[in-house]
Amino acid sequence: MKDYLSTTLKSAVFTLASFVALPAFSVTLSGPGTADFALPGTTAAAQPDLGGLIIEDVISDFSISGAGETLQGTIQNRVVRGADDTLTFYWRIRPISGNGDILSFRVGGFGNFALDANWRIDGLGAESPNIARYFGDGSGAVNFLFENSEVGVGTNPDGSLTTSVFFFLDTEAKNYTMNGQFDLLCAPSSCVSQSYPTFSPSTIPVPAAAWLFVSGLLGLTGLAGKKAA
């Protein structure tokens, strides 16, 4: 009887656990070659280190076209400093007009920094990347793939185009610069946008005066005030 009750209790606990959603954590990108990593999504409650002070929040324009497809919009480039003083780099795709569909967002310039990738369940936006494709060749390039979503081609009830959620690369870096780049790939024609500047980690602090010069030179707009993430 005791063994039966023990077995029944274990079965009940296992069954209950199977229905309880465990917190999903960021995925560590690693390997000497190209590798794909599934992104489950996460929250600040599951990973408190993702919260912190927003130290950069820049809106930059993008345009992409090819084979009858066009899409114009903005990219939100965000840098957050966590409680442990390390930096997380965020992006969000916000299409405004056109008939294209974003298949991937490729970012480069992250060098040999250790990277964790994921997207925020608890943030703005609707469409999420399902894969982070990591290029372990020292280039620091990562492709966020939107294979199961419709960034741009879908419409919201108010007629606006569908946007992405915030997706990110979490690093151990404590400094950053504007040496990163991103581009976008559309589907189904596989048209590629030009390369645009974005923030990336650095081992060397950049003086405040240099930031004013670089931001103006690159023509980026929409610097937001510092606020809590």
pLDDT at 224: 43
Residue 184 · residue 193 · CB < 8 Å: yes
Q: Which two tokens stand for residue 76?
A: 């939100």
Query: What's the confidence (pLDDT) of residue 177?
Result: 95
Domain count, the chain: 1
The verdict on residue 192 lying in a domain is: yes
Among left, alpha and beta (phi > 0; psi -120 to 50; other), residue 79 is beta
DSSP string, 155-166: B-TTSPBP-B--
* pLDDT given at position 208: 54
Residue 195: other Cβ atoms inside 10 A: 12
Decide if 21 is inside a domain: no
Q: Which residue has the tokens 């993702």?
A: 50
Task: Output the pLDDT for position 70.
Answer: 87
Residue 168 counted as domain residue: yes
In a domain, 18, yes or no: no
For position 79, what pLDDT does the model report? 98
Residue 161: name the closest of 223, 90, 70 by CA: 70
154 lies in some domain: yes
Token pair of 162 as six digits: 């569908």
In a domain, 16, yes or no: no
- Domain around 80: 26-228
Residue 7 lies in a domain: no
Q: What is the pLDDT of residue 215?
A: 52
**Domain-located, residue 20:** no
Which segments of the chain have a pLDDT < 50? Answer: 1-22, 209, 211, 213, 217, 219-228
